[in-house]
Amino acid sequence: MNKIFVAATLTALFLSSCSSDDDMTTTPTDTGVIAPTTYVFQRGGESTVSFGGQTTRILMAGEFVSALKDNTNSQSTLDAMFTHIEGNADFSNADLNASGKNIRSKVAASKDYFSANITVSNEIKADFDAWIAEQANEVFPNWAGTASAGVAGQLQQLNGGSTRYVTAKGLELNQAVAKGFIGGLMTDQMLNNYLSTSVLDEGANAANNNNGVLEEGEIYTSMEHKWDEAYGYLYGAELDPSFPVLGADSFLNTYLNQVDSNSNFSGTANAVFEAFKLGRAAIVAKNYTVRDAQAQIIREHISKVSAVRAVHYLQGGKTKIAEGDMAAAFHQLSEGFGFIYSLQFTRKPNTDSPYFSHDEVQAYVAELMAGNGFWDVSDATLDTISEEIATRFNFSVAQAAN
Amino acid sequence: MFKKITSVFILVLSIVACSSSDDATSGSGSSADGFNRQSMLINWADTIIIPVYQDLNSQLAGLVTAKNTFNAEPNQVNLDAFRASWLNAYKVWQYAEMFDIGQAETINYYSQMNIYPASVIEIENNIASGTYDLSHPNNQDAVGFPALDYMLYGVGASSDMDILAIYTTNANADKYRNHVSDLVEQMKTLTQSVLTNWTSVYRDQFVGSTANTATSSTNKLTNDFIFYYEKGLRANKIGIPAGVFSTNPLPTKTEAFYRGDVSKELALTALDAVQDFFNGKAYKSNATGASFKQYLQYLNTVKNGEDLDVIINNQINVARTNIQGLNANFTEQITSNNAQMTDAYNELQKVVVLIKLDMVQSMNIRVDYVDADGD
């Protein structure tokens, strides 16, 4: 009880500091650091912003999630995409094929959470591996069959709606994977790696940034680049990443937009963008107090994306079950499942911990997948989980369900 | 993970250190914080580093003898003696690998002694051709202890009989005998040169370099120590074979892969070496002297209300307990239960943060390399 109260108080403090930060663009008086209107930072007239690796991984994830809905793919094809090796023709985009990066190596791989937690990191990676295998080996072979409790297959939403392809437990694995990436890849890398002092200030980064020492052969300092890499996991698929319009991918970028579109959470997207700009300007200004305060703002809001969407979809699923539209219900519950999974990668501002631990998330997963899974999940279960998430993030179930 | 070692500009962290003129190579030996670094350098050189090299050098002399005996008469008894001598030397090597400074650094000593896994193709090519430059960079994975591991346990498929046949009845038996001889002699020669350099000239240079610059002895050896812990011990012995840096575990990348059942023993020895060095414990003795531990105590470095030197020793002990619980053969451990292996890795990793961040910050020493593991 005490803890919840403290957390709530902290969050409240944070919210108030956020709102003042939103105005920072025009009132630089307290720190002297001014955020530019757009995410444009230059040195000698040349842009110092670079996050090609993040764009690459977002695009890889996009193609990969699409491939999970193509029942002609084999497990080995899917695995090859997930663990892409430089030069292999796993993707339709030649640039992706030429890249030495892959998705899997950055799943559950942040410095803060996993550098001394490899066993759990491996368990999480193994979850994704298992979802991929199950999609290829259980769902794909039953692509044309009708799903029922305990039987994988397809179900069409009412009134001639979309067809959903689910496991024997009613789980749409492509949704589990896609929404799981929002936490396991994007959120984790952003909040627990690139925005962390352990990465921003690693080695001589601070001294080099103070003295304008650039990375070898590059036009940016390491610290600038780390911050930009965090930025890239959110905005890397934007047409013009310096001025994001959101909705640019199927991942964090789009779901930040969704949360922001809910009037109860409007302003979230702007707060994140402003914090990113101000934090980056603070790095240029060598003001690491302002920088770190922006990181905390981003952590709070980005963490909230998974929480709000988790509750939203659990409640949406509950409604659809009541309407007897199981296909639509499974679709929403599967998205919710992925967002719940993502909660373990969130980051409570000013702490080293997620809002929900790995074990707590595992317990939710077990509860949702018990017995025949979504076929017999109870309203009480969906409501209890929704309430617990909403309470911890200090919003209401009704606000998120909106 | 360590694909790019970025050398960085050197700056003195604190204003105190900036303002003091601490760049003399002589004088009191005290650093800006008042700790007598020279006493630590002397303890390191005289009670740890040189005694380690002396022991290693004598172990390798024993290895030369064992090799000669074996080559004169390649039988089971002599093979066993050769192998035992190899393992003894390999264990002493675990104490030496971290001292990549002076002559060792100049000649890339470590890279000629313990790069594994050994390349069987390169070793066999060298044997077949009979002409090779063992000190050539291309041969770094075809020399040293890992190459001997292959020569003593890996050639000839399945049994000791097969291995002995390689050195006796095989058509190229003389080439194998020559090669195993060259490998051992090379290790002895390199080690002798590093030891002689220490005892003739380098020891005094080393202990006289008391400043706090990137090239000062304390700074360099501290970096060597941390780098060794992170790369040579944590990554090479545990992390890489456990698949921490790859998609899948790589169980054939263990140390002493062909012998098999000593990877745990070698890792534990290396951990002892690290802890002894941290504590300034004289080699093969219980005497202790000036050290990282004393330095931290002198600075009264506390983390979360606890003495940092105690935290570090405790965490090393936790890691040791974890490693002790593993299969003697890491290859088997990884294959049967890799989670136990990664658990041990996790405990080793926790020490990295303590020494690479907390310890060096309080000593005002800059880490001169970073993991360039970004995008």
Q: In this predicted model, what pLDDT tens digit does every residue of A293-347 receive, in sequence order?
A: 999 999 999 999 999 999 999 999 999 999 999 999 999 999 999 999 999 999 9
- Measured distance between the N- and C-terminal CA atoms of chain A, rounded to whole angstroms: 27
**Strand runs labelled E in chain B:** 302-303, 306-307
- Rounded to 5°, the CA angle A210-B213-B45 comes to 145
User: Average model confidence (pLDDT) for chain A?
Assistant: 93
User: Does B350 lie at the interface with A, CB-CB under 8 angstroms?
Assistant: yes
Percent of chain A with pLDDT over 70: 93
Beta-carbon separation of B349 and A118 below 8 A: yes
The CA distance from B338 to the nearest CA of chain A, in Å, is 8
d(Cα B363, Cα B220) in Å, to the nearest integer? 13
H or E segment and range at residue B193: helix B173-197
B349-358: b (≥16 Cβ within 10 Å) or e: bbbbebbbbb
Report pLDDT for B162. 94
d(Cα B113, Cα B125) in Å, to the nearest integer? 19
Beta-carbon separation of B374 and A226 below 8 A: yes
> CB neighbours of A136 closer than 8 A, spacing ≥ 6?
A73, A74, A75, A78
pTM for the predicted model, two decimal places: 0.83
Nearest chain B alpha carbon to A215: B6
Nearest chain B alpha carbon to A232: B375
What residue ranges of chain B have pLDDT lower than 50? 1-28
Please list every residue in chain B whose beta carbon sits closer than 8 Å to the beta carbon of residue A198: 357
Sort A16 into a burial class: Cβ within 10 Å, 0-12 / 13-18 / 19+: exposed
Interface of B with A in 204-243 (CB under 8 A): 239, 242-243
Domain boundaries, chain A: 2-401
d(Cα A104, Cα A129) in Å, to the nearest integer? 9
Report pLDDT for B304. 87
Q: What is the largest CA-CA distance in chain A?
A: 65
Phi/psi of residue B158, nearest 5 degrees: -105, -40
d(Cα B232, Cα B228) in Å, to the nearest integer? 5
d(Cα A195, Cα A232) in Å, to the nearest integer? 12
Q: What is the largest CA-CA distance in chain B?
A: 72
pLDDT bracket for residue A402 (50, 70, 90): confident
Chain A contact residues (CB < 8 Å to B): 51-54, 56-57, 83, 101-102, 104-105, 115-119, 121-123, 194, 198, 202-205, 207-208, 211, 213, 215-216, 222, 225-226, 229, 232
Report pLDDT for A159. 87
SS3 content of chain B, % helix, strand, coil (to 5): 65, 0, 35
Q: Is the dihedral of CA B167, B170, B172, B174 positive or negative?
A: positive
d(Cα A333, Cα A181) in Å, to the nearest integer? 16
Could you give the ipTM of this predicted complex? Answer: 0.77
Q: What are the Cα distances from residue A356, in Å, to A5, A258, A296, A346, B20? A: 16, 22, 17, 8, 49
Beta-carbon separation of A203 and B338 below 8 A: no
The CA distance from B253 to the nearest CA of chain A, in Å, is 18
Provide the token pair at A277: 């700009």
For A155-191, how does the pLDDT look when each residue is reduced to its tens digit (9 = 90+)?
999 988 999 999 999 999 999 999 999 999 999 999 9
d(Cα B333, Cα B346) in Å, to the nearest integer? 16
Report pLDDT for A11. 41
Beta-carbon separation of A204 and B11 below 8 A: yes
Q: What structural domains does chain B harbor?
A: 15-363 (1.20.1420.20)
